[in-house]
Amino acid sequence: MWFKNIRVYKLSAPLTTDLASLEQAFAEFKFSPCTGQEAVKSGFSYPLHNSIKQYCHQQQHRWFFAIKRQEKILPAAVINEELQPKIDAAEQEQGRALSRKEKQALKEELIHTLLPRAFSRSQLTQGYYDAQKNWLVINSSSASKAEDILALLRKAIGSLPALPWLDSHKLNSQLQQWLKHEDLPKGFMPGAEVELKAPDEEGAKVRFSNHLLSADEVQTHLQDKLVTRISLQQTEGVSLTITDDGSIKQVKYPDSVIDHNDELGWDDLPARLDADLLLMADSVNNALLAISEQVNSHPES
């Protein structure tokens, strides 16, 4: 429910699909478990709770969705233990060492045999589309997983012209300024973590954690290194870490936000989940808006 790591995309054209159409589109690509020979399976699930049978949940100008991904777990050690006797037997039978291609074929055959007996692991990833800001916000730290989600969304609704939400050149320039405590997004102050990397081939890195970022031993690294990630703190809101690829990590919400709806209790589950979702999305949007306005409106250096 509370997004911890975020990938944000800006749509070059707004989605015009209504709630009923989205619900139908997502239902057509709903999640179903892996069959015996399937290694991975993804599909839409319920964004609020399994007891609330909605694939798309609308809240004001936001549409929430969730994608469930299931994969079979086959540890490499298990595969190798089963594979080696098969390789030994084949080499003894043929009187020669097997080629790499032949070993790979035996491995693929073995995996095909083991898949029906493998354990399954599932993961639910939530996201929402903000029609007001024309943003797609995905609760994931992984770029590849976020791209998989975009691909499934495209299958379900057709065109999805998603672009980076921040200009990368402007962002990289601003990260340097933020470490200097200059041109910070409105309502933000520096946190206590930063990572810098030299732009040369060696790519020397230095990272400070729980450290005063204005200290000389930190600031001196700006002479020969680029900021790759830095933590920021809203004076009244979330704390987060932003990286040089525009991803948001380690989002933390103040107790005043997390506990705000405690008086509602949990007797009415849909109402409570909806209220918490509103608080979370408002907090995230507030932070994203401040960052995007500061970065995208700033001239490139």
* pLDDT tens over the chain, length 301 residues: 799 999 999 998 888 778 899 999 999 999 998 887 788 899 999 998 888 899 999 988 899 999 999 988 888 888 888 888 888 888 888 888 888 898 888 888 888 888 777 788 899 999 999 999 999 999 998 999 999 999 999 999 988 889 889 988 999 999 999 999 888 999 999 999 999 999 887 889 999 999 999 999 999 999 989 999 999 999 888 999 999 999 999 999 998 888 888 888 888 888 889 999 999 999 999 999 999 999 987 666 5
pLDDT value at residue 290: 94
| Shared-domain flag, residues 30 and 158 | yes
| Shared-domain flag, residues 48 and 128 | yes
In a domain, 201, yes or no: yes
Nearest 5°: the CA angle 31, 33, 34 is: 125
| Shared-domain flag, residues 159 and 264 | no
Number of domains composing the chain: 3
Q: What is the pTM of this model?
A: 0.84
Q: Report the distance separating Cα 78 and Cα 99, nearest Å.
A: 22
| Shared-domain flag, residues 90 and 16 | no
In a domain, 301, yes or no: no
**Residues with Cβ < 8 Å from 189, sequence gap 6 or more?**
232, 233, 234, 235
CA distances in angstroms from 59 to 28, 131, 268, listed in the order given: 22, 11, 17
pLDDT value at residue 28: 94
SS3 of residue 235 by DSSP: coil
In a domain, 158, yes or no: yes
Structural domain boundaries, residue 104: 76-116
In a domain, 28, yes or no: yes
| Shared-domain flag, residues 19 and 157 | yes
Contact (CB, 8 A) for 149 and 127? yes
pLDDT value at residue 298: 67
| Shared-domain flag, residues 128 and 275 | no
Q: Which of 164, 192, 221 is the last residue of a domain?
A: 164
Complete DSSP assignment for 161-177: -EEESS-HHHHHHHHHH
SS3 of residue 35 by DSSP: coil
In a domain, 2, yes or no: no
Contact (CB, 8 A) for 248 and 240? yes
Q: Report the distance separating Cα 225 and Cα 105, nearest Å.
A: 47
Q: In terms of Cα–Cα distance, which of 45, 18, 17 is closest to 29?
A: 45
